[in-house]
Structure 1
């Protein structure tokens, strides 16, 4: 979850009219041989037409028909269907590897949620990204206000702000920028994962947009896991592992590294208000 401290075109073939020698005439030897060659070639052509694999292109040495069937567009030879790049696949967004390192803050303030003095936080998005800071802030607010989130501990409270002092900042950034900021604290995020360092909750753009294989069909849920996991570190919670086969995975488990028998879960607490945890990771 995070790094922390320490489709071939078929050729259509048109068969020409059949020719036969006139009755009552004997062909010279060379004429008979020539006719035999023509008949043999026609027979071979007929075999090719009727028995060729329909998925295999047929090569025709004869002139093309007057009105050929339109061909399909040829694929771009530079594109690899066997191993498409994640950044060029039509099902995935184009994710820049790095950005300017400057950020836009989501405007406005949110409501206080939870009990006690709220921790104030900002939501920022790295400049140049196709991610709305306002939309991201709305999602973060909703996650932190969920009854299964950290406010269920009875002592944590949050409020999003856009100015003044803040206790922590949620930053959505390119993999390279995440690496740079986390690396300043000695953490290696490898262009792939998120981190919490100081007052920065660093969210890797890859994970925000693509999630992981387990959550690929439910990216919003994985976003909740990112926020709950990294804010959990800010609150002082360490990594734990799966508590048992078929049990819900704790939010503080590094689920990106494998589920270890647990089932997906993105919330620190269950619907009954019980903390979801497991054995601590040294």
Structure 2
């Protein structure tokens, strides 16, 4: 589970009756320009701006949200990067990425990094396009950075790219893939019993924007929802799915949505 240049959002919680994702999915589909980041390389792909959400099993299937989680509304805006790195996965141009967790959040940077690695290495993920390869690093030049942060910090970063995440959404702005802590921990009602799956949707949707993909709608009743569909706004007859490709390597998509 409008998400980051191009921007993408994935609504998180059950507030306001969970009637829709705003910024990512309701926002425009024009990729925002990267924010200043001296240590990173400028990402080559161009993508649309938008908000996000989607389901399907990821690394540890069946992980559900604890009965009570205290989510701080804001944090210091500083981060700790996960140490170590990963081997390259996929073919084509290698995109180097880093995983950061905002300071003060009770999450293990190593655990978050491991989960992101599993999502990006899954054969149903973006490596199946034959053009995208990923490698996690702990420092040096990066193409994009996955950051899990408090709602207030996500709002501040996304706001610089003109995105209103409203304390509830994720976004992809430039080379920053901003993951709202509320979404990471609580998912949405459709994925409440499989938070891990929703995390895969967040990463796949927002990274999809980074790679140049826009929003799509449901391709038909009973069919898998595309990863680039704003599932938080309603399934429209589709069944939950968090992966860009199916097990046969077929791209899961639907009609373009502006």
Matched, 1:251 2:206: no
- The within-5 A match list for 1:58-207 is 91-207=67-183
Q: Distance in 1 between matches of 2:240 and 2:130?
A: 24
Q: SS of the counterpart of 1:171?
A: strand
State the structure with bigger RCO (CA 8 A, min sep 6), 1 or 2.
2
TM, length-normalised to structure 1:
0.69
Could you say which residue in structure 2 is the equivalent of 1:67? none
Q: For 1:118, what is the secondary structure of its paired residue? A: strand
Larger Rg: 1
Tell me whether 1:272 sits opposite 2:248 in the alignment: yes
Residue of structure 2 aligned with 1:237, choices 183, 203, 213: 213
Which residue number corresponds to residue 42 of structure 2? none
Per-residue CA deviation, residues 67-123 of structure 1 (Å, 9 max, x unaligned), is xxxxxxxxxxxxxxxxxxxxxxx8121000110000000000111000023100000
Partner of residue 75, structure 1: none
Structure 2: gaps (5+ residues): 1-8, 11-22, 29-65
Q: 1:215 & 1:165 partners in 2: Cα distance?
A: 35
Distance 1:134 1:120 in 2: 17
Aligned residues: 200
Gapped regions of structure 1 (runs ≥ 5):
7-89
Whole-angstrom distance in 1 between the partners of 2:164 and 2:93? 33
- RMSD over aligned CA atoms reads 1.3
* Aligned counterparts of 2:73 and 2:172: Cα–Cα separation in 1: 20
- Structure 1 partner of 2:53: none
TM-score relative to the length of structure 2 = 0.76
